[in-house]
A and B are shown apart, each in its own frame.
Chain A
Amino acid sequence: MEILNAAVAGTLESSDVQVSVEPAEKGVALDLSSSVMEQYGRQIRAVVLETLERLGVASARVRVVDKGALDCTIRARVECAVFRACGADAAAKNIPWGGVVRE
């Protein structure tokens, strides 16, 4: 998927994660901070990158502020931010559930 506009999903509440994406020239630049960095930083990074890859995001600047979210929440927030960044209404309908959006 191609990132067309800047978009954000998620909150800074405990057990949530806020994901911001914006267009970039080439490659994925990930900036991650987490309240559980020592124990889970490595795993969070892996989940974010794997989700971006599954969505076919080749270039984007991605900022993740994690407040102890579970992996399934991280996936949901990354997906939502990416769809929101793909033009008006892209996140609102005809989502490929079970396709590129999956566990």
Chain B
Amino acid sequence: MKKENKLLSFLRDNTVPIMFVVICAVCIPISGFSASYLMNEIVTRMGRNIFLILALLIPIMSGMGLNFGMTLGAMAGEIALIFVSDWQIWGIPGVVLAMILSIPISVLLGAFCGKILNMAKGREMITSYIISFFMNGIYQLIVLYMMGSIIPIKHFSVKLPRGYGIRNTVSLLNMRQCLDNLLAVRVAGVKIPVLTFLIIALLCLFIVWFRKTKLGQDMRAVGQDMNVARDAGINVERTRIISIVMSTVLAGFGMVIYLQNMGNIATYSSHSQIGMFCIAALLVGGASVDKASIGNVFLGVILFHTMFIVAPKAGAQITGDSMIGEYFRVFVSYAVITLALIMYETKKRKRKSLVAQQLQQEQEEASGT
């Protein structure tokens, strides 16, 4: 009897990952991809995306929900890479320089985002979502109109022929996969980008360590209950801003890693969907709006990307139309986020009404005696 209950609650708590395992299990044989191809793709994408997704963990810790504003960090990373390729800095030095350059931009954007989110407590997610749109406008203003006219950009491979603005795609051919290829190891035909994974491991260690620091503890306290945290003498507003700034800076680094793997920047669209996909991947791994672990990130990336690789081919095999699979994976990404948001909100409401009931009971008892 008890065992059954446990199983049931396990199923309920892990609905999304289980659903994904089922989808992947059905789609993999249909798609007909070989195991080595799949492994290769998944390992590559793990190296490409895990850093970005890890950037989401810190705001979740401080109770600010899914940081849709990580797009801001992605923009910072892109701007840094545009400069680096204009100056023709190649290879690993280029990557390192881009990361350093992205820091001040990320900090600035993150602080702006954090300030605004402090003004919109309780609706952080929708606000951070709109901020990402708003900033996309500013990003276009800077990259499309100010770069080359006000901000010096010289190189013809970066600048539009009209004299200002950046090209639709900026090639990163000279730093393409330079991180991934250094120290890369081949195991049974699967290329493992050891250095990239080392960097990811470093970040994981940092996050584990950070949770135990004073600031990390403060963030968790703020995430639990802002008022209690404030009474305990924590500067809630500052802590929240720091958490968003950290997330933005990490997202900036993550974007540089992501783009060095891709080998080119789609200047006006690379960042636009990145937040959505990262969030979907994290949620697929079993995270929720108020709780996420490093394990969720890894599981999520593997499951989400398996679906992402397999769906178009499987869809084409079943319906004879490759677009079906493309739409299917976009739909699944959105559906997963919707589902996670709904589960989070219903849980929050349940908890609230439970607290209210308890309060009422206590009051009744108090008045009864």
Do chains A and B interact in one complex? no
Which residue numbers of A lie inside 8 Å of B, CB to CB?
Answer: none
